[in-house]
Amino acid sequence: MPVKNRFAELLPEITEWRRDLHENPEILFDTHRTSKVVADRLRDFGCDEVVEGIGRTGVVGVIRGKTDGGRVIGLRADMDALPIHEQTGKEYASKTAGAMHACGHDGHTAMLLGAAKYLAETRNFDGTVVVIFQPAEEGGGGGKEMCDDGLMDRWNIQEVYGMHNWPGRPVGSFAIRPGAFFAATDQFDITLEGRGGHAAKPHEVVDTGVMAAHLITALQTIVSRNADPVDQIVVSVTSMESSSKAFNVIPQRVHLKGTVRTMSTAMRDLAERRIREISDGICGTFGGAAEVAYHRGYPVMVNHEEQTDFAAEVAREVSGDCETAPLVMGGEDFAFMLEERPGAYILVGNGDTAAVHHPEYDFTDEAIPAGCSWWAGIVERRMPAA
Q: Binding residue per annotation — 103?
A: yes
Q: Binding residue per annotation — 357?
A: yes
**Residue pLDDT, tens place only, 127-173:** 999 999 999 999 999 999 999 999 999 999 999 999 999 999 999 99
Q: Binding residue per annotation — 105?
A: yes
CATH T-level fold of 5-182+301-382: Aminopeptidase (3.40.630)
pTM of the model: 0.96
pLDDT, one tens digit for every residue, the chain (386 residues): 577 899 999 999 999 999 999 999 999 999 999 999 999 999 999 999 999 999 999 999 999 999 988 999 999 999 999 999 999 999 999 999 999 999 999 999 999 999 999 999 999 999 999 999 999 999 999 999 999 999 999 999 999 999 999 999 999 999 999 999 999 999 999 999 999 999 999 999 999 999 999 999 999 999 999 999 999 999 999 999 999 999 999 999 999 999 999 999 999 999 999 999 999 999 999 999 999 999 999 999 999 999 999 999 999 999 999 999 999 999 999 999 999 999 999 999 999 999 999 999 999 999 999 999 999 999 999 999 98
**Residue pLDDT, tens place only, 243-273:** 999 999 999 999 999 999 999 999 999 999 9
Q: Binding residue per annotation — 203?
A: no
Residue 42 has a pLDDT of 98
Q: Binding residue per annotation — 164?
A: yes
CA dist list (Å): 334 to 154, 305, 360: 18, 16, 25
The region that residue 179 occupies, defined by phi over 0 for left and psi between -120 and 50 for alpha, beta otherwise, is left
**CATH, range 184-296:** 3.30.70.360
Q: Answer whether 212's CB lies under 8 Å from 240's CB.
A: yes
Domain positions in the chain: 5-182+301-382, 184-296
